[in-house]
Amino acid sequence: MSTFRRPISPTELIYFPMRDMAPPFLMQMAYEGVGALDPEDLRRAIAIAAEANPGARLVRDGKFWVDSGVTPALRVVPHVLQYAALEADPVLTSPIGPHPESTCEVLLLTGDPTTIIFRVFHGVMDGMGMVMWATDVLRVLRGEEPLGAPDPIADAELVRKVGAPGRPTPMLPFYRAATGHGRQLPGEHRHLLRVRTIDAAGPGALMRVAALLAEEGGPKSRIMIPVDIRRHDPAVRSTGNLALPLFLDARPGMDWKQLNELKKAGLAEGRELNQMDNGGLTRMPPAVGRGLLSTLNWLGSRYGRNLASATVSHMGRYDLDELSVPGFTFTAVRVLPQHSVAMPLLFGMTECGGRTELTVSARSGDGIPERLEALLDRIARTLEKELTPTGSAKS
């Protein structure tokens, strides 16, 4: 076992009850492609990359994360993802393994298309941490050295080091979702997980989606943009939770350029740093915090009152040729966001091969599936109209 050890941050503590309230509560990164992948080669690459990124081997030890020294498991499954309704996919929704204390694993789905899926409990990594680990595994498969992320640091410690410039944004359940609300029915999925492949890509995709959500969301929407706070100390190499929210309050009629100016102003001021432990949820006893999360879910599903209207996150642009490994060519990269009881919509996007891959986890309820499909159709039509069509864009 290595000496890697760090405190579990307040943000990460919030995520523990989510494993029971919104299972499996995993961020997942899916790399789809064609060709031959030897499971033993992949298993070896996972081990080498995890040695360089000890955040992929963490287990809980009281108030700390510690490196177990155990390589994340690889499961080889003859399966094809059920993209029409991923919330019902039996493999994607299965618990992480092989043990209850496991926090990361990898799936190799050997159907057509072959897919590698990196699965991460949000309590140990943020989205970019997951990308850092996954891309290091692919580097090893290409015969390269992993970049590594050896620093035992997460958001609370970095914010203490950098400092917060102002006060947190007040958090009150006032905001509507673009899909409306609906009572969660017994026997139905409490969350949906859907994908759209959009045949266009280009600058401003994230803010265009945010503007559409505000247009559909009612008199006032609050869009949450996760910000990678590694930007405040580029020397930090950590896979830990180092994303904090930047909130954009928007009204119908605001276009994506106006929202982008709001985002740039917030980033220039470092406003995301103010949100560390916003609302005091992390200081509550676990039972009280769980009760508050349940209440927020009830308010959102019954009355459409949410702390924020949606989260929208961009997880990178990928050159599929550069990403591919000997004998295997990648054809798509998708991020599959975790479910949340406190947020009605969580959008994730990537750009690759001249396309935008858009995914969303949505709190379900009466009437939500139909409204979600209509919203995704509108987003796809808008982006295909406004962005560079496939064939003209670079990977």
Q: 326-345: per-residue pLDDT in tens? A: 999 999 999 999 999 989 99
Q: What is the pLDDT of residue 3?
A: 87
The predicted model gives 181-195 an average pLDDT of 94
pLDDT at 395 over 50: no
Residue 204 neighbours by CB distance under 10 Å: 16
Q: Confidence band (pLDDT; 50, 70, 90) for 61? A: very high
Q: Confidence band (pLDDT; 50, 70, 90) for 390? A: low
- Residue-wise pLDDT for 111-137, tens only, equals 999 999 999 999 999 999 999 999 999
Q: What is the pLDDT of residue 291?
A: 87
Name the residue among 225, 190, 217, 250 with its Cα closest to residue 378: 217
Q: What is the DSSP letter of 325?
A: B
- Residue-wise pLDDT for 88-97, tens only, equals 999 999 999 9
Question: What's at 161, amino acid-wise?
Answer: K
The predicted model gives 166-172 an average pLDDT of 89
pLDDT at 392 over 50: no
Ranking 299-303, 306-310, 332-336 by mean pLDDT, the lowest is: 299-303
Taking the domains of the chain in order of start, what are their residue ranges?
Answer: 5-147+171-389
Look at the chain and count its residues: 395
Q: Confidence band (pLDDT; 50, 70, 90) for 279? A: low
Instruction: Please report how the helices 205-216 and 256-268 are oriented relative to each other, as an axis angle in degrees rounded to 10.
Output: 110
Name the residue among 316, 328, 356, 348 with its Cα closest to residue 138: 328
In what side-by-side order are the strands of the sheet with 345-352?
191-198, 355-363, 345-352, 310-318, 221-228, 243-250
pLDDT at 177 over 90: yes
Q: 264's torsion region: left (phi>0), alpha (psi -120 to 50) or beta?
A: alpha
The predicted model gives 56-79 an average pLDDT of 97
Rounded to whole angstroms, the Cα distance separating 287 from 207 reads 37
What are the distances in angstroms from CA 293 to CA 183, 310, 341? 16, 16, 7
pLDDT at 389 over 80: no
Q: What is the pLDDT of residue 98?
A: 92
Say what percent of the chain tops pLDDT 70: 96
Rounded to whole angstroms, the Cα distance separating 393 from 317 reads 12
Beta strands in the chain (DSSP E): 5-7, 26-35, 58-61, 64-67, 73-77, 104-109, 114-121, 191-198, 200-201, 221-228, 243-250, 310-318, 328-336, 345-352, 355-363, 388-389
Q: Confidence band (pLDDT; 50, 70, 90) for 282? A: low
**For residues 2 and 54, is the Cβ–Cβ distance under 8 A?**
yes
Rounded to whole angstroms, the Cα distance separating 357 from 173 reads 30
The mean pLDDT of the chain is: 93
